Structure 1
Amino acid sequence: MFQVHPISADNFSYLNGLSEAELAERKIQVHVSDGRYPCRVSLADAAAGERVYLLNFEHQPNETPYRSRHAIFVKEGAEENHPAPGTIPASISSRLLSVRAFNKRHEIVDADVIDGSEVAPLISTYLDNPRVDYIHLHYAGRGCFAAKVTRAGE
Structure 2
Amino acid sequence: MSFQLVGLDAEPFATLFSLTEEALRQHGAVRRIAETQPGYPCRISLEDAAVGDELLLLPFTHQPALSPYRASGPIYVRRGVTQKIGAVGEVPCYVTDRLISVRSYDPAHMMIDAAVCEGAMVAEQIAAFFNDPRADYLHLHNAKRGCFSCRVNRA
Residue 56 of structure 1 corresponds to 59
| TM-aligned CA deviation for residue 52 of structure 1 | 1.0
Residue 28 of structure 2 corresponds to 27
User: Deviations for 1:73-104, whole angstroms, at most 9, x for unmatched residues?
Assistant: 00122221222110011111110011100001
Residue 77 of structure 1 corresponds to 80
Residue 19 of structure 2 corresponds to 18
C-alpha contact (below 8 Å) 2:17/2:56 kept by paired residues: no
What CA distance in whole angstroms lies between the structure 2 residues aligned with 1:45 and 1:138? 15
C-alpha contact (below 8 Å) 2:32/2:57 kept by paired residues: yes
Residue 3 of structure 2 corresponds to 2
Residue 102 of structure 1, aligned match among 105, 118, 122: 105
What CA distance in whole angstroms lies between the structure 2 residues aligned with 1:26 and 1:5? 24
Residue 139 of structure 1, aligned match among 133, 139, 142: 142
Q: Percent identity?
A: 40
> Match of 1:117, as an amino acid?
A
What CA distance in whole angstroms lies between the structure 2 residues aligned with 1:136 and 1:27? 23
Q: Is residue 90 of structure 1 aligned with residue 104 of structure 2?
A: no
Deviation above 2 Å: which 4+ runs of structure 1? none
Give ranges in structure 1 of 5+ residues lacking alignment: none
What CA distance in whole angstroms lies between the structure 2 residues aligned with 1:44 and 1:127? 24
What CA distance in whole angstroms lies between the structure 1 residues aligned with 2:129 and 2:90? 16
TM-score when normalising by structure 2: 0.94
| Secondary structure, counterpart of 1:21 in structure 2 | helix
C-alpha contact (below 8 Å) 1:96/1:139 kept by paired residues: yes
Please tell me the root mean square deviation across aligned C-alpha atoms, in Å.
0.9
> Match of 2:43, as an amino acid?
R
> Match of 2:99, as an amino acid?
L
Residue 129 of structure 2 corresponds to 126
Q: How many residues align?
A: 152
Q: Is residue 40 of structure 1 aligned with residue 43 of structure 2?
A: yes
